[in-house]
Amino acid sequence: TLFTSGIFNEEAFEGDLERIKAFYESQGFLDVRLEPELKYDSTGKFLHINIKVDEGKKYLVGEIKLFGNVVLPYADIKKSLKMTSGNTFSQEGLRKDVNTIQGLYFEKGYIYALVKSETFLNPSTGNIDVAYNILENELTYVERIDIKGNIKTKDKVIRRELRVRPGEPFDGKKLQRSKERLYNLGYFEEISFDTEKSTTPNKSNLIVEVKETKTGEFAFGGGFSTIDKAVGFIQITQRNFDIMNFPTFTGGGQRLVLRGEFGTIRRDYQLSFTEPWIFGYPYLFGFDVYQNTRLRATDVGYGYDEMRRGGALRFGKEFTDFDRGDLTYRLEKVKISYVSSEASSDLKNEEGSNNISSLTLALTRDTTDSAYNPSKGYQLFGSVEGAGGPFAGDKDFIKWYGSSTLYIPPHENHVIELKLRAGLVDDYGDSTSVPIYERFYAGGSNTIRGFRERRVGPRDPISNDPIGGEALLVGNAEYVFPILEFLKGAIFFDAGNVWAQANDFGSGGYKYSTGVGIRVKTPIGPVKLDYGYPLRVDKGEKKQGRFHFTLSKAF
């Protein structure tokens, strides 16, 4: 308020002076003095404000001493401090370092450790020496875990996500991971941990308090994207479903989705059910039943009608907090029709119906801090799918796919996302080629922006429709930053290619693009708008920028 004109408010002015003083003190100028001078102009209507600042000496941190630390060595504590010898001294930095030391002890189970700081002006150096006096107290164990605030969610659903157990020492890292896992369920809007002293020496109770959010949704609406054109949908979702809890059917930690989409070129129907713990054991079971139809639309890379009808059985197991494996059996009927009359004989040969029977093994490692809006950590994913052969079906192929994503937070609420995807697919047995609907495609909003959908890679030599390839490599770099509370900006660079033969993987012909985008949080869901410009295109094609508009999966 100080640097803008307006009606003078003495209370606001005093607050501005305090903020200026606090800023100087945070930069080490502990003796700063402010002398404000207020003068009216000749009309008596306007007040001119001048502030004289006497900065004084800038203080640096001198010697740092620790007293009372037995459990944690001096070196371990010192390397965690932000305010070290030679750095600028500030009371705020001192407070943060006290909290850091207490956090180190909390992680080790010394939840009642006390840390007090003392400062001394060293007359010989002119610096401020700091002493931390530590009272470690005793190692504390968890006696009992009490859960509060859960009205719908069963206690067991919460307890199975906790990484701490009764009888174990308190562990700050495990508690933090427990909170992340509970938030990732999507059942709670607030989660807090507290402790309660027990009558048993060296033991305390852990209090887990949650505030539930709505987990059931009935949604309907419509939209438009550059991939699916106009689309409407109806969806019923219960993220905290319980098939045995009549009549509310909530609280068991299961997931149920019923969805129908009706669009200009797309019609999809899906029923999906997931039980993350089978009969109380940490094994996932789920199934999907679906029918997906895409109508011919060459401008988004479909030179034919495609209908998929089938289902899948899913089994999974968590090995650690960050690692899991999944096994999926897929059985579906795929029908290709309405191929362009101008297409080559190879593309026309894809017409007809075929049964796909396959088994997929997938491994995932995920260290990100949030399943819905990650800002740090990484994700590694790899899968191999075998179709036909011992699983019967009409098509024999093996598909390998892998992806890695790294999230880096350079500043608060800023995220750099680096992503790499690669895939190979090849036929075997009685098949002489990989089906067009099992090949890889690139270009468009989800791969290489600035290019038309599925237009990076092999095309039919006659109709020029995309026909996909057996090898894929795509990399993306994106920097997302806040603009307003509901609005984020993005800068990105995409690169990659699709090759006709698996043996050609990485052989060149890469396409590049760059661009900017926005991410808007709206009442009907998050929206993503990107403008990409191709930096390298195929010979004979024009470099032309392109907008990509779609619903975003996370905000």
CA–CA separation, 108 and 35 (whole Å)? 49
Residue 251 within a domain: no
Residue 29 has pLDDT above 90, yes or no: no
Give me the pLDDT at residue 553, please.
Answer: 37
To which H or E segment does residue 24 belong? helix 10-26
The number of distinct structural domains making up the chain is 4
Q: Give yes or no: residues 82 and 186 share one domain.
A: no
Beta bridge mates, 380: 365, 404
Q: In the 8-state DSSP scheme, what is residue 437? A: G
CA–CA separation, 371 and 104 (whole Å)? 26
Q: Binning pLDDT at 50, 70 and 90, where does residue 492 land?
A: very high
Supply the CATH number for residue 208's domain.
3.10.20.310
Domain boundary among 170, 189, 212: 212
Q: Give yes or no: residues 34 and 100 share one domain.
A: no
Range of the domain at 150: 141-212
Q: Give yes or no: residues 35 and 131 share one domain.
A: no
CA–CA separation, 118 and 95 (whole Å)? 11
Q: Give yes or no: residues 369 and 518 share one domain.
A: yes
**Contact criterion met (CB below 8 Å) for 311 and 287:** yes
**Contact criterion met (CB below 8 Å) for 300 and 227:** yes
With a pLDDT cut of 70, the percent of the chain lying above it is 93
Q: Give yes or no: residues 76 and 178 share one domain.
A: no
Q: Give yes or no: residues 346 and 411 share one domain.
A: yes
Q: Give yes or no: residues 74 and 156 share one domain.
A: no
Give me the pLDDT at residue 205, please.
Answer: 95
What string of DSSP letters covers 41-107? -TTSS-EEEEEEEE--PPPBEEEEEEES-SSS-HHHHHTT-SS-TTSBP-HHHHHHHHHHHHHHHHH
Q: Binning pLDDT at 50, 70 and 90, where does residue 31 land?
A: confident
Name the more confident of 56 and 143: 143
E strands, 276-396, where? 283-294, 305-318, 323-337, 352-366, 377-387
Least confident of 288-302, 325-339, 413-427, 526-540: 288-302
Q: Binning pLDDT at 50, 70 and 90, where does residue 537 land?
A: confident
**Contact criterion met (CB below 8 Å) for 334 and 437:** yes
Q: Give yes or no: residues 16 and 70 share one domain.
A: no
Domain boundary among 212, 240, 274: 212
Residue 268 has pLDDT above 80, yes or no: yes
Give me the pLDDT at residue 8, please.
Answer: 73
Least confident of 201-210, 234-243, 438-447: 234-243
Q: CA distances (Å), 501 to each of 128, 396, 426, 433, 498, in order?
A: 68, 16, 8, 10, 9
Please measure the distance between the N-terminal and C-terminal CA atoms of the chain and give it in whole angstroms. 32
Residue type at 171 in one-letter notation: D
Q: Give yes or no: residues 367 and 511 share one domain.
A: yes
Give me the pLDDT at residue 356, please.
Answer: 97
CA–CA separation, 390 and 386 (whole Å)? 9
Residue 125 within a domain: yes
Q: Which residues contact 4 (CB under 8 A, 6 or more apart)?
A: none
pLDDT tens-digit readout, 141-161? 999 999 999 999 999 999 999
Give me the pLDDT at residue 466, please.
Answer: 87
**Contact criterion met (CB below 8 Å) for 326 and 314:** yes
Residue 279 within a domain: no
Residue 99 within a domain: yes
Residue 554 has pLDDT above 70, yes or no: no
Q: Give yes or no: residues 129 and 159 share one domain.
A: no
Q: Which residue has the tokens 């080559």?
A: 344
Give me the pLDDT at residue 525, please.
Answer: 62
Residue 30 within a domain: yes
pLDDT tens-digit readout, 428-438? 999 999 999 99
The torsion of the CA quartet 496, 498, 504, 510, rounded to 10 degrees, works out to -30
pLDDT tens-digit readout, 98-146? 999 999 999 999 999 999 999 999 999 999 999 999 999 999 999 999 9
Give me the pLDDT at residue 461, please.
Answer: 86
Residue 344 within a domain: yes
Supply the CATH number for residue 411's domain.
2.40.160.50
Domain boundary among 100, 135, 170: 135
To which H or E segment does residue 532 belong? strand 525-536
Interval 382-387 mean pLDDT: 98
Q: Give yes or no: residues 350 and 494 share one domain.
A: yes
CA–CA separation, 316 and 363 (whole Å)? 10
Residue type at 430 in one-letter notation: D
Least confident of 232-236, 270-274, 280-284: 232-236
* Residue 143 neighbours by CB distance under 10 Å: 17
Least confident of 2-11, 57-66, 119-128: 2-11
Residue 16 within a domain: yes
Q: Which residue has the tokens 């396409």?
A: 511
Interval 317-336 mean pLDDT: 96
Residue 227 has pLDDT above 70, yes or no: no
Average pLDDT, the chain: 89
Residue 82 within a domain: yes
Residue 365 has pLDDT above 70, yes or no: yes
pLDDT tens-digit readout, 156-185? 999 999 999 999 999 999 999 999 999 999
Q: Give yes or no: residues 394 and 509 share one domain.
A: yes
